[in-house]
Amino acid sequence: MTTKYEDIHRDVIELCMKGDVAAQYKLYALYSKAMFNICYRMVNQQEEAEDILQEAFTYAFRKLGSFRFESSFGAWLKRIVVNTCINHLKKRRVELVYTDTSYDVMPEDDHVDYGEVQMEVQKVRKAVEQLPDGYRVIFSLYLLEGYDHREIAGILDISESTSKSQYLRAKKKIKEILDTYEG
């Protein structure tokens, strides 16, 4: 038995399902900024992020009839946005930056407590933007979008250990970039 989810925007969503254009604009206004941020973090280019956002919303509005309120609308839309970004990156044939080494066990020496390090948000954002595409995608999916390494491995068609090692390398690279700002 599936539990129905009470969405705070249920009335607007139901109007959209009936083809109400004003409701579609309202739903877009409610979610577009957050979804654009996901797109931008994934592809790192504003114009591409805007195009992907439009593509994702177009798809979501076409498939809105399949939304059954079994999760929040935001979670359902986020899944569409992330998948649209991944498909875009695959079409672009982004070569993920892989090395010969992958870890079945996480290395012990990477236990830096980044929570204690006080950094300006802008510096961190710039550092993430400087990551190679493969690192940035895995870093964004894991840390910012909340996917686990098994899910990332399935989405990107890589091994779970590769996802973990690339995430570690992305964190290390961000730290190196941030150290250059202070040096």
Per-residue pLDDT of the chain (183 residues; tens, 9 = 90+): 555 666 788 999 999 999 999 999 999 999 999 999 999 999 989 999 999 999 999 999 999 999 988 888 999 999 999 999 988 887 776 455 554 444 444 444 454 444 444 446 778 888 888 888 888 889 988 888 888 999 888 888 889 999 999 999 999 998 898 888 766
DSSP H/E element including 124:
helix 121-129
The CA-atom distances, in angstroms, between 173 and each of 25, 27, 40, 54 are 40, 37, 19, 32
Sign of torsion over alpha carbons 144, 147, 14, 3: negative
d(CA 97, CA 163): 11
- Tell which CATH architecture fits domain 10-91: Orthogonal Bundle (1.10)
Q: Find out if CATH 3.90.1150.140 is the number for domain 114-182.
A: no
CA distances from 63 to 25, 68, 89, 139 (A): 16, 11, 22, 29
User: CATH 1.10.1740.10 occupies which residues in the chain?
Assistant: 10-91
Where are the strands (E) in the chain, listed by range? none
What residue type is assigned to position 123 of the chain? K
Q: Which residues belong to CATH 1.10.10.10 in the chain?
A: 114-182
